[in-house]
Amino acid sequence: MKQRPILSVEDVHHSFGKFAALSGVSLQVPEGRLTALIGPNGAGKTTFYNVVSGRYRPSRGKVRFLGRDVTGLPPHRLCALGLARSFQITNIFERLTVLENVQVPLVVKNRGTFCFWRRLHRDGALEKAALEVLAMVGLEDKARWGVHELPYGDKRLVEMAIVLAGRPQMVLLDEPTAGMNPEETDHMIRLIKSLAETSGTTFFITEHDMKVVFSVADYIYVLHQGRLLAEGTPEEIRADRRVREAYLGGTSEP
Ligand X SMILES: Nc1ncnc2c1ncn2[C@@H]1O[C@H](COP(=O)(O)OP(=O)(O)OP(=O)(O)O)[C@@H](O)[C@H]1O
Dihedral (CA of 118, 124, 130, 136) sign: negative
Q: Which amino acid is at 64?
A: R
Identify the CA nearest to 187 among candidates 179, 178, 197, 177. 177
CB of 22 to ligand X, least distance (A): 8
Residue 112 burial (CB count, 10 A): 8
Residue 232's Cβ-count burial label (10 Å; 0-12, 13-18, 19+) is middle
CB of 17 to ligand X, least distance (A): 7
Nearest to ligand X of 41, 198 (CB atom): 41
Rounded to whole angstroms, the Cα distance separating 68 from 202 reads 17
Identify the CA nearest to 238 among candidates 211, 198, 202, 204. 211
Cβ–Cβ under 8 Å, residues 15 and 21:
yes
Nearest to ligand X of 45, 187 (CB atom): 45
How does 184-213 read in b/e, with b if 16+ C-beta sit within 10 Å? bbebbbebbeebbeeeebbbbbbbebbebb
Nearest to ligand X of 21, 171 (CB atom): 21
DSSP output for 89-142: GGGS-TTSBHHHHHHHHHHHHTTT-HHHHHHHHHTTHHHHHHHHHHHHHT-GGG
Nearest to ligand X of 187, 224 (CB atom): 224
Nearest to ligand X of 47, 71 (CB atom): 47
Residue 149 burial (CB count, 10 A): 11
CB of 223 to ligand X, least distance (A): 7
Nearest to ligand X of 97, 206 (CB atom): 206
Which positions touch ligand X (CB under 6 A)? Answer: 16, 19, 21, 39, 41-47
Nearest to ligand X of 46, 59 (CB atom): 46
